[in-house]
Amino acid sequence: MRTIKKATALATFALAIGVCGSAGAVTIDGSFSTAEWAGYYSTEDWVGSNGYVGPGYGGQSFDVEYLALYMDGNDLYFALKTGFNVTSGVLYNGYLYKPGDFAIDVNNDGVYDYALDFSVSGSTASYSLYQVTAWKNSMYAQHAAADPFEYKTATTSSPLLSFTGSEGTSGTSYVLEGAFDMSYLTLYNGGPVTLHWTMECGNDYLNVTTTPVPEPSTIMLLGGGVLAAFGFAGAMRKRRQG
Ligand SMILES: [Ca+2]
Ligand SMILES: [Ca+2]
Ligand SMILES: [Ca+2]
């Protein structure tokens, strides 16, 4: 009985460390895997044949598949996997629908504070970070759940930060990945951060919220504490048996 209990506790401990380790292995290469973003993504794949992707219709071309966000110390990593063509947009019934900006809510108050605008050339995605004063919503009122779509006005006309990430394709899906220094999010006071993405028509969208990962030193201290507790329990058992 004792042995089983101890083994379970050790497995739980290893799992907790494993989650931290796998997300630490995120690589910005335009290739999205659920293993590299384990514990830090949301998903709501389109399944079935009616084309409903939520809150609208459109099938694979308008399907948002994965949205990921991971905070590692001062670095913020993000990724998107979608059936929507993020390079050229999607032409449908003579109208070219644009991909939206990534919207970022810091301080967990339901207000999106920053926009990551992007353009794609080859396998490189170029990003511009803006502090937003007003947003544009998606084009249909019945898709309000997918709002906002892209930034309308910002505190400055020039971006706070420009950087590059990676773009890739996976079957009929497109992948965007990038990372930037969180110090550019000057409104951030700690705690959870939410990332949001949709396209112009708002047919589909995803949100993902993440909280900061403890620094490696904290994890080591935590691990040391758990091991010390095991040592203590072992000593107690020996004393009782002896
Ligand atoms: Ca990757
Ligand atoms: Ca979807
Ligand atoms: Ca906010």
Q: What is the pLDDT of residues 37-88, one digit of tens each?
A: 999 999 998 887 788 999 999 999 999 999 999 999 899 999 999 999 999 9
pTM of the full predicted structure? 0.80
Q: Which of 36-50, 132-146, 165-179 has the lowest mean pLDDT?
A: 36-50
Confidence of residue 220 (pLDDT cuts 50, 70, 90): low
Q: How far is the CA of 177 from the centre of ligand 2 (A)?
A: 18
Ligand number nearest to the C-alpha of 56:
2
Q: Is the pLDDT of residue 235 over 60?
A: no
Q: How far is the CA of 36 from the centre of ligand 1 (A)?
A: 7
The pLDDT value given to residue 212: 84
Q: How far apart are CA 5 and CA 71, in angstroms?
A: 33
Q: How far is the CA of 240 from the centre of ligand 2 (A)?
A: 57
Ligand number nearest to the C-alpha of 36:
1
- Show me where the domains of the chain are located: 2-211, 218-242
The pLDDT value given to residue 47: 80
Mean pLDDT, residues 10-14 taken together: 36
Ligand number nearest to the C-alpha of 68:
1
- Which run of H or E residues covers position 133? strand 124-136
Q: How far is the CA of 88 from the centre of ligand 1 (A)?
A: 22
Q: Is the pLDDT of residue 144 over 50?
A: yes
Strands 150-154 and 161-170 come out as unpaired
What is the tens place of the pLDDT at every residue in 194-219? 999 999 999 999 999 999 876 666 55
Confidence of residue 33 (pLDDT cuts 50, 70, 90): very high
Q: Is the pLDDT of residue 36 over 60?
A: yes
Choose among 84, 172, 179: nearest CA to 125. Answer: 179
Q: Which of 36-50, 175-189, 223-237 has the lowest mean pLDDT?
A: 223-237
Q: How far is the CA of 178 from the centre of ligand 2 (A)?
A: 21
- Which run of H or E residues covers position 43? strand 41-43
Q: How far is the CA of 32 from the centre of ligand 2 (A)?
A: 16
- If phi over 0 gives left and psi between -120 and 50 gives alpha, with beta otherwise, what is residue 30? left
Q: How far is the CA of 89 from the centre of ligand 3 (A)?
A: 28
- pLDDT > 70 in the chain, percent: 78
Mean pLDDT in the chain? 85
